[in-house]
Structures are given as C-alpha cells and as structure tokens.
Amino acid sequence: MSDCRRQWNREDELPVYLAGPITTGPNQRKSFGMFSSVEGAFESKTIDFDNYAVGRKGSRTPRSGSRERLLDAGDPVGKTPGETREGSQSNSPGERDEGRPGLEVRFSSGDENQNGESERLLIKGGRVVNDDQSVYADVYIEDGLIKQVGENLVVPGGVKVIEANGLMVIPGGIDVNTCLMKPYLGTQPLDDFLQGTKAALAGGTTMIIDHVTPEPGDSLLQAFEFWQEAADKKACCDYSLHVDIPQWNETVKDELELLVHDKGINSFQVYMAYKDVYQMSDSQLYEAFSFLKQLGAVVLVHAENGDLIAQEQRKILGMGITGPEGHPLSRPEELEAEAVFRAITLGNRVNCPVYITKVMSKSAADTVAQARRKGSVVFGEPITACLATDGSHYWSKNWAKAAAHVTSPPLSPDPTTPDHLHTLLACGDLQVVGSAHCTYSTSQKAIGKEDFTLIPEGTNGIEERMGFVWDKAVAMGKMDENQFVAVTSTNAAKIFNLYPRKGRIAVGSDADVVIWDPDSVKTITGKLQQSAAEFNIFEGMECRGGPALVLSQGRVVYEDGKLQVQQGTGRFIPRKHFPDLPYQRVKFRNQVKNKQGVTRGMYDGPVHDVVPTPKYITPSPSAKSSPTSHQPPPIRNLHQSNFSFSGKRAQMDDNIPRRSGHRIVAPPGGRSNITSLG
Amino acid sequence: MAGRRGNRDKVEDDLPVYLARPGTADQVPRQKHGGLFCSVEDAFESKTIDFDSLSVGQRGSRTPRTAKREAGQEAKSPASESFESPPGDSPRSRSRGGREDVLRNLGDETSDRLLIKGGRVVNDDQSFHADIYMEDGVIKQIGDNLIVPGGVKTIEANGKMVIPGGIDIHTHFQMPYRGTTTVDDFAQGSKAALAGGTTMIVDHVIPEPGNSLMEAYDQWRQWADEKSCCDYSFHVDITNWNDSIKQEVDSLIKEKGVNSFQVYMAYKDYYQMSNSELYEIFTFLAERGGIAQVHAENGEIIAEEQARMLQMGITGPEGHVLSRPEELEAEAVFRAITIASQTNCPLYVTRVMSKSAADIISQARKKGNVVFGEPITASLGTDGTHYWSKNWAKAASFVTSPPLSPDPTTPDYLNTLLSSGDLSVTGSAHCTFSVAQKAIGKDDFTQIPEGVNGVEERMTLIWDKAVTTGKMDENMFVAVTSTNAAKILNLYPRKGRIAVGSDADLVIWDTDSISTITAKTHNSAAEYNVFEGMELRGAPQVVICQGKIVLEDGNLHVISGVGRFIPCTPYPDFAYKRVKARKQLAVLRAVPRGMYDGPVSEFSMSRGGTPSASARTSPTKQPVRNLHQSGFSLTGNPAPCGPPTPDDIPIRPAGRRIVVPPGGRSNITSLS
C-alpha cells in the first residue's frame, strides 16, 4: 500500500482523477459469505482518492518530516491547507494530552459570509472511516457533494475549514426503519418528519427511510404521495420511503409496478402478524415474494406469527392480564423465530432476498444467522431498542413506563439479548441497524390502558441509534470502527441501492458526513432529547460516543450540541430496483435453478378407475385443482405387450391381487396418447 | 447390577407371590433423566416387577459367571435341561421329544403354553440370558430354571436374541382412496407385519372432512376386527375442527381408547389446518392428555409450487419431490414445534423424511421441547433419487408425502439421529397402491396416490442400517422399534417389553440371516417394493404373537381376525410427565399496579373506515365516526388506523388533543 502511495506523491496529477469521479469498474464483484457486510467494499465503485494520492498521517504510519516538506513545497496552491494541516498536526498532540481533541471551525479567509449557505467546506485533519478502511485525509465539499478526498487538496479560497483534529470522519448514518407518520386509530405519532429528522440529525443520522403505512383497501400510490408531500414539507435530511403492503390483490400489483418504475421505491414491507388486518397467508406471501422479485424489489418482512398471537392475546386477556406485560406474554420470541424461519423458507423457495425488519430476540437472530450460513439471501435488522434495553420493563409498576416499551415484536425479557445481538451485528450475521422510531405520547399509549392489545406500538431510538451501537459494540471491543460504519450506514445503502451516493465518503458521494467523537459521554434523558416524546426508553443510560458535527447535504446542521436545521430541505432520494447486494446472487441462482422434467416413455399400463364423487379421499395434494380425473371405461388391453420404458413390472398386472372389486381401466384403442412428456 | 442380582438367589417358589400382582405401579416418583438419552427414560423404573432383575441370573458373554455357580443353579432346577448349544449355533427352534412335536402339530390350542429356552432377552434397558415362559398370551415367568408345567412346547433359542415384538406406529391398511382402497387390507397388512417381526400395528383412521370421527372410527374398528392378524390400535386424524369434532375427540379419548390424533399442515383446502386451528387443537389435546401428531409440510407453499411445476410442464413423479422440497417440511416442523411449545402439548411428528426436518426436531429436543420424531422405513432405507427413474411405475411407487429426500445421505443421517435418541420411534407409513392405482396420476403427479410399503421391512432394515453398522446397540434397537412406541401410546409395559405380565408378543431375532428384498416374495400385495433388491442382514426367526407362534422356519401361520383392539389411555407418562410439571410453572400473572388515570388521547376505532381489528368483518369504509363504540376488541392488535388520505388526517404533533376522563379518575376494575 505504501509503495503504491509513494508513486503518487505529486499533487499535480490530482485533477486528472478528479475529472472522472465515479467510474464504475467493469469487473464483477465477488460474493463473500460470512463477512458479507464488507461485501463489495473493495471494488472500485468510485476512485478512492485516499488509496492513491493520500499520504497517511498520524500514529499508524508516521511519515518522515522531510517528505512532508517536500510534498508541501511541490504545490503552491495547496499551500494554505498544507500550512493549516501542519499547524493542526502540531496542535493535536497537545490536545490529545488533555483528553480529547476538539473541533475547530473557522474560515480560511474572512471574506465569506458566516451565516450564509456555506457551500464549500473543508474538513481537515480527520480520519476518514469507511466500511472497508480508515485513512487520514482531508475532505473537500462543494455543492453538497464530496469533491476531493486526500491530503494537500487544492481548494479555492474562502472555504470554511473544519478542523477535525484526528477525530473520525464517517459517512452519515442511514436509519432504515422509521415510522414518523404511522397513524394509529386516528392519532399521529408525536415525532413527525420535522421532529423526527431533527432527532435523527442530532444523533448523527443524515438519512432516514420511512415506512409508508396505508390501510387495507387504500391505494398505495396515494399513500405514497401523501407521505412524500408531508416529508417534502418537513424533513430536514434526505429521506426515502418503504411502502408497506397491507393486503395482496391485483390492484396492488399494478401500483407496485408503478412505484418501482416511476417513483423510485425498491422496498416493500409485508406482514406476517396483525391477523385480519395486515397479515398475509403463506400463499399470498409466496405470490407477493414472486412478484416483488420480478420487480427487483427488496421484501421487508414483519415476522411474527399473527394467528398464534391472536390466540395468545385472547388467552391472556381471558386470564385477566390487561397491562403491558400481556404484550410480551402474548408475543413470545418463539413466534418471532417461527415467522422468521417461515419467511426465509419462502424466500428460498421463490429465490428472493428477504429482509427481516426488527429482529428483536436471540432466537430470531439465530435463525437469520443459521439461514445465512446455509446460503440464504437474508438480511436482519435489529433496532436501537433491542440493542440497548430489554423487555424486563414491561413488568414495571409504572404503567406509563411499561407502555412506553410496547413495540412489536416486543423487547425480549431476556436481559442478555442486547449483548447477543451486538455480537451478531459485529460478526456480520445481522447487517443493518434501524430504529423503528415511532413515538406516541403517554396519553396516546393510554388508549390501551385497559387492554394491552390496544396500546399503540412504537419506541424511540432514532437519535440514540448510532450512539448505542458505538457504546455497546465498538467501545466494548466487539466491533471495529469500519464495521460500525457498515452497520449504521454502508450496508443499508447497499441493500437499498443508495451506494455509493450514500454510505461512503468518496469523491462524488453526497456530503452527508459526521465527525464522530468516540469519547464524548452523555446521559440519555427525555428532557434533553430532540424527540417530542415525554418518555425515553433509554432514560438514564450513559452512552459513550456521539457526533461532534453533522453535515447534511454539505451544510453544517449540528455542531457543539446545537442544531441548525431548515424545515423542508430534505430531498426524496429515489432508489433503483435490483440492488446489487441482495440481487446479484439471486440472479445467478435463477440461471442455475432451472428445473427439468424427466423424459420418459408414457405410462400405458392399466389405470385404476376413479369414482367421480369420491366418498373417501385420502391425502391427494391438490384436491382443489382437479378433484376428479376421469378415466376411460374399463377394457383391458391384451394387445399391449411390451413397452420398454415403463418398466419390468408394468405389464404384470396379472399378478395384481385384486381384492374387493377393484376395477382396472386401460385406455380403449390400446394406447393413450399423452403429449406431456417426450 | 450383577451384585444386586447375586443376592437374589431366590427359589422359584416365590414366584406366585409376584405373579399375583403383575403390573403394579408403585408410588415411587420417577426421576427425570437427561435430554439426549431420553429414549431410555423411565426404562429403569419399576412399572412391573422385573423378575429378571430380581431372580434371573445373567449368563453369556457380557458378565460371564463362574462355572461353579452355573452348575449350582442348574442343579437347583431339575425341571429345566441344561443348555446344550453355545450361542452362534445353528439357529433352530426345536421341540423336545416326540410328544411336543405332536402337540405342536395339533394346532393353536396347545400353543397356549410356550417356553423359550436359552435366549438372550433384550429389552430397551438391558440384555440378559433367561428363559421365558408364557401362558394364555401373557408372559408368566422369566428366569433361569423355571418351573413349568409338563407338556409345554419349548423353543430352543440357542442364544439368539429374544426381543419384544415390534410396534409399527404408523400404517394405513385398507385405506379408502377415491372409491378404491389400498391393496393391503388389514389381513394382508398385518400378515406382512408379522412376517417382519412386528406384532402390533397402529393404524390411522382418516375420516373425510365433514364426516364424523366416531363413524370413521367404528368403520375402521369393524374392518380391523374382521381381518387383523395381530393386535392393533388407532390414531384418529382430525380432518376438520369444530365443536362437534371437539366432543367426538373427547369421547374418543375417554371411551374409545384413542390417545393420539393427527392433524395436517399440508393438503391445502382439504385436510390442512390453519395455525389458529392447530393452536386450538393442541390446546384441547393438552387438556385431555392426548398426543398431537402432525403431518408437517407447508401446504400453502406446496400448492403454489405444484401449480408452478405443472405450468413448467413437469407432470411426472419427479414433480412430486420438486414441488415438496424438504425446506417446506422443515418449516412446518418448526412451526408445529412452536405451536406445541406455546400450548404445552406433546408433539409427535409423523414421517420425518429429510435431514433438515430431523435437525429441527433434534434442536428442539435440545431446547427442551417435548417432541417425538418418527422416521419411516422408506426414509431410513432409501432415498428420493428414484423419482427420476425412467420407469414411470417405479418412480410413482416412491411417491409419498413428505417425499423421500433426493439427498442420498439422508437415510444414513436419520439412522444416526435414531441411534442417538433424537428421533424416537419408527413407523412404516405402509400405504400401498397398485401400479394401476398409482396411474391415476399418470398425467399429473399431484393425482398420484401417495404411499410406500415398509411394514414388513421395517425391523430388518433398521437392524441392517443401524445395528450392524455399529450406530445403535440392540437395546436401542428395541427402544426405537417397539418400546418407545409403547410408551407414547401408554401401552407400556404391556407391550414393548419382555417382562412378567406383559403380552406374549415376542420375536426371536436372527442377527445373521441375510435376505434380499423383492416384491416377488414379500407379503404385501403391492407389485413394487421400494426396497427392491436390497440385501439386508437380520431377520425374525420366530415370531410369537399373543402367545402363539406365527412365524417359524420361514412359514407364516396367521389367522385373520384374531387381532385385538388395544385401547390406549390418555396422559402417557413418557410424554406428559414433563408437560404436567411445566403446566404448574407456566402460570402467568398480571403485574399489580396502580391504574393509569392520566390523560387519554382521543382516538377512534372506526375513523377512516378501518378499524384495527375487524378489517375482515367490515370491509366497507364507514365514513361516520362512531363515538359510542368503545373500541374494545379482544382480537384487536395495536394496529394503526386511519387512511393516509391528505384531507383525513392532519399532521398535528403539536396540537394533539388530550382527553381527561370526567370525574378525574376512571374506575377500572381490571387491575388491583
């Protein structure tokens, strides 16, 4: 690596590469098995400037002072950044001694308007962390795009310079699961697109993918447009939308096609729970999977066995348990694991990628991990709540607190669950972290004060998501910083076809960048959060690691704990169908999986007569499709002597011991002409 | 063991005391044994007085005894002759003296009294050398130097194994199918069973959906009573579920001696039960002490796959296995286990045909679920590659559901799990159709009647594949072919064990004989045998059923109609002991908390026309808001409501309305 880098130590050559950002190499990506979270990470989707012209700085590969000087002397235009960098380098050791390096924002020259839209930004002295590698590099941002990554960049004068002082510069987080507008019995969640995206940005998440949740019978298209309109007005960060399919019928198919081809939606959620409302039968799921696979969309599955939940709910209400503890009691994790298993089986049959939303329990996560080991194309998404807390709170004496934890599938009462899920996340068995942020006030939750089945479901987590993954996985040594970037951002971008526009710091990518401070410690409390909810389920938890500065679309939106957002600046990001990460393997399997019948001589031996209206029928698989297959009248064909293919005993019908009046039928004319088999 | 036995050099005069009360179940609580080896669970308990453990001297290679003691014992019992032949001698059952020869030839009435001499008694827990004396179809004495009346017929076992007769827990004899019946009726089928060393069969009663279970049961009883040559019992299949079926199930358990009921997760729109129905059935059976058997395959996906196969132009028998991949079996097994675990009901998975399904069962057992898996003869002996045979008739003869796995390593794998105790019992799922009957589906594989043979080959095949390969010992062989089945059916120790007081269903097993299976010589009426051409070691040499010799020297002497119905009682210990204990633990309690009396948000159950819980019942939109509706619904999920039409729902996170109940405090009685 360092040899390679030495060949490119002249900054004059930089513009050549800048001229052609995002040149996708023609070479195919390989599929990796267990470590698929970094699948494709090494391929040349964009030209990685850091790989070529960026000198590595800092403790990892310290460079000689003489060489540094040589580089700086080589280019007069880059003098200013070069100097500042040298300055920062001399500063930073001192700062590190004090504890943690701070951020410093300043303008290189004073002629630029401070509060105006600063379209040009330079992040200096940071360590750029992508999902595949970390390098020291400066990042230059213009017009909401990353224009240059590297050392000693040639930048115009008057840019705003942010001194990262060796802090991590990571791609902004992508929260793949939010419900900011999911209505419940006529009420709306507290956090709408404005409030929700504010909270997201405060937590280092620069893009959300929200769920459009139409009611059964509603038009998906209308619902989508309604959601989009609301989000366009209010969202402060880029967003995209999943569309939930509340029921399966013919009209839905047309709308899905339209959504995929014209609206830029490539992910749809189906439900295996919520009996009589959203729940689909296995047949419907099979059809839905088949159809969505043709469209090249990702199937999201809410995996819980709704039939059994309904039974359990009835039983538990019958026992007089009406409080929130009835919620986890009626939705034991086995039912989640069962549905996950079934969804994966369906996905295998249809050969369709399956994405399990809200993996809440150990057993469900294990099921996903096992299936991946067997080669299934399946992705699992744990959410903030299940990664940071557990379901023991359902038994809280405080009704409001217990109710605040109600979400589906429920948090597992097993307190070791978060740890287990983090482990699977770290090793790549689970891929993406969402938040399933859907907050209702206590008074809204109180709709179900006499019946836990009516408590609106949803927990907070959009703001805490990245922090908890850092705190519980990276700070604990389970996960490295690259995997942290993968699970919070890159994998989501790959699965939903946003990569490399999102989820990576590379030339040409969107300037959604977070400067991450691994040492900041804050205590989560409902009082200080951005979300409007009065109750935070992580109340009182200490969390190490947090964003020091957040850039969204090239603008600083969060700095020093202060949020500067503008309502409605969020753009809808359309997503193309057939994302590579889920679909490449599927495409190859499609080619392999062609099934062929056996070419055999037709059977022309005797055929038993079938009674048209059978009194007794035994297991016949498709009694529905053809309950009766009527055969010709009973004449035995004595001329038919020797048909080779149909086997040695086919003609030995004389030996059949016929008891109790069997009727043997042979086709008249000697031979039935069956055209089906060659 | 040997020391304990050594202390009991009892004289045989004590025998009548114990014989006076055979099968006394004592009050000693049984201990629980560990998970993996639970197939021998309870095996050491004193359900009957084990004579063998009390007064029987052990002889033979395992614990060789001193010659002195041997001699002393023999001297004590002048009635019995010494063993003249070492084990491994030519296995001949013989009668002593001309008088017994005559008696034997006289017929059945004289064979009421039988003495098996010099055999090695193999139960599921231990093996020992002993003589067995039986009278009136019941084992009366076990031990050395028995005092028996004169003139009994004696069979010299010559050191051969004497095992409890096999119990085939899964057959379909004389099963009606679209106006015809399977070619093996109860006479033919039970004859084949006896020929293979199986002395009891458990047949499935399959009522038509909509018909009465009781009528079907009576019908089957009638057929079996007329024809069966060996003892039998029934499972009843629940083909639909409603209140009247519930009552019938109840009375079948209480009055008719049926304790196991099969439900189907396959055969969509026909037998298939929904998850909710399965939940209700399992709950019901758990309350009544029944065993829930499942045919585990995902019928809905099968239906889709079948349609796809036919559309692709695949109509031959290979379509059967292609449309029923083993994943669907594993999925259904997983689901069934989940439901059973929720309802705390013992589960019995019939026909474990694939590796993945077997794996799911063994995983579940490791997690503590009460689940039993039953591989069948076909899945233990052959594989599904034959579905691609060019010979249609041959391919069709393998059609059964779930299908045989095309993976040729499956039989080996299943035999391993059977040996380790992860799978518990073996059936045969014997259900034979003639080629002509199979040809009903010659143009469409979905119409091929399903079923394979296996009742005759079952024991031999397991011996050959598991015991001679060293996977399994002879005790485990007895457990999986007989004892475990008896325990599940609550027939133990009457069946499935050689003990005083047990039924005289015995097999003298010849471990060395080699036979080649062929349809020409088998006892089934089917033209095809799915094991055609296989060479198998081990075979029954003498089969004794109800105390009568039915197979000897290769000659089968069976009498149709002598088979008795053996009623099974509910709550078999083997399955229910654990369930009962768990039931006491699994009491759910509500959290006593002060009632919530804060503000309650205004909500509407029917706003926008989509109430959360009853979308099915009211598909039409109700634009009028019903303020009187309390919105209380038992089935209700906290599902979101309200259509996302722009006009309907204002986005108002800030201006939400809070409703406080008038009077300050709502009196809710539900929580203390």
Instruction: Give A638-665 pLDDT, tens digit per residue.
Output: 454 444 444 444 444 444 444 444 444 4
Q: How far apart are CA B272 and CA A614, in angstroms?
A: 18
Q: How far is CA B189 from CA B174, B432, B485, B518, in A?
A: 8, 9, 19, 16
Average pLDDT over every residue of B187-202: 94
SS3 category, A298: strand
Of B600, B596, B597, B607, nearest in space to B629 by CA = B607
Say yes or no for a CB contact (<8 Å) between B439 and A314: no
| A vs B: CB pairs below 8 A | 452
Say yes or no for a CB contact (<8 Å) between A645 and B444: no
Does residue B312 belong to the interface with chain A, where contact is any CB pair within 8 Å? yes
Average pLDDT over every residue of A173-197: 92
Q: How far apart are CA B595 and CA B670, in angstroms?
A: 9
**B373–chain A nearest CA distance, Å:** 19
Average pLDDT over every residue of A79-108: 44
Of A259, A365, A262, A355, nearest in space to A586 by CA = A355
* Chain A residues touching B633 at Cβ < 8 A: 453-454
Does residue B30 belong to the interface with chain A, where contact is any CB pair within 8 Å? no
SS3 category, A354: strand
Given a cut of 80, whether residue A443 has pLDDT beyond it is yes
Chain B residue with minimal CA distance to A619? B267
What pLDDT score was predicted for residue A611? 62
Q: How far apart are CA B455 and CA B453, in angstroms?
A: 6
What pLDDT score was predicted for residue A102? 57
Going by DSSP bridges, is the β-strand pair B506-516/A205-212 parallel, antiparallel, or unpaired? unpaired
Does residue B367 belong to the interface with chain A, where contact is any CB pair within 8 Å? no
Given a cut of 80, whether residue A83 has pLDDT beyond it is no
Q: Percentage of chain A with pLDDT > 90? A: 60
Which residues, in sequence order, are bridge partners of residue A541?
A: none
Contact of B327 with B356, CB cutoff 8 Å = yes
Q: How far apart are CA B23 and CA B657, in angstroms?
A: 73
- Within 626-665 of B, beta carbons closer than 8 Å to A belong to 631-646, 649, 651-653, 656, 658-659
Question: What's the complex ipTM?
Answer: 0.72
Q: How far apart are CA B240 and CA B270, in angstroms?
A: 9
Q: What is the pLDDT of residues B49-102, one digit of tens each?
A: 444 444 333 343 333 333 334 433 433 333 333 333 344 444 444 444 333 333
Lowest mean pLDDT among A211-220, B238-247, B468-477, B628-637: B628-637
* Chain B residues touching A195 at Cβ < 8 A: 653
H or E segment and range at residue B204: strand B198-205
Q: How far is CA B106 from CA A122, B21, B102, B475, in A?
A: 110, 33, 6, 35
* Chain B residues touching A446 at Cβ < 8 A: 596, 598-601
Q: To probe the interface with B, which of A229, A277, A652 has the most B CB atoms within 10 Å? A: A277
What pLDDT score was predicted for residue A603? 78
What pLDDT score was predicted for residue A488? 95
Say yes or no for a CB contact (<8 Å) between B177 and A603: no
- Number of Cβ within 10 Å of residue B560's Cβ equals 15
* Chain B residues touching A281 at Cβ < 8 A: 300
> How is residue A45 annotated by DSSP?
S
Chain A residue with minimal CA distance to B667? A450
Given a cut of 90, whether residue A12 has pLDDT beyond it is no
Of A190, A223, A656, the CB nearest to B653: A190
What pLDDT score was predicted for residue A104? 64
Of A206, A237, A137, nearest in space to A502 by CA = A206
Q: What is the pLDDT of residues A303-355, one digit of tens each?
A: 999 999 999 999 999 999 999 999 999 999 999 999 999 999 999 999 999 99
Of B185, B391, B599, the CB nearest to A659: B185
pTM of the model: 0.75
Say yes or no for a CB contact (<8 Å) between B615 and A216: yes
Q: To probe the interface with A, which of B186, B433, B597, B603 has the most A CB atoms within 10 Å? A: B603
- Number of Cβ within 10 Å of residue B569's Cβ equals 14
Chain B residue with minimal CA distance to A605? B436
Q: How far apart are CA A22 and CA A24, in angstroms?
A: 6
Does residue B436 belong to the interface with chain A, where contact is any CB pair within 8 Å? yes
Dihedral sign computed on CA atoms, order A153, A154, A157, A158: negative
Higher per-residue pLDDT: B24 or B125: B125
Q: How far apart are CA B514 and CA A151, in angstroms?
A: 82
Q: How far apart are CA A334 and CA B342, in angstroms?
A: 8
Given a cut of 50, whether residue A285 has pLDDT beyond it is yes
* Chain A residues touching B612 at Cβ < 8 A: 185, 277, 454
Say yes or no for a CB contact (<8 Å) between A624 and B269: yes
Q: What is the pLDDT of residues B277-312, one digit of tens each?
A: 999 999 999 999 999 999 999 999 999 999 999 999
**A222–chain B nearest CA distance, Å:** 7
Say yes or no for a CB contact (<8 Å) between B208 and A615: yes
Crossing angle between the packed helical segments A220-234 and A193-202, to the nearest 10 degrees = 60
Q: How far apart are CA A508 and CA A497, in angstroms?
A: 16
Say yes or no for a CB contact (<8 Å) between A277 and B177: no
| Length of chain A, in residues | 678
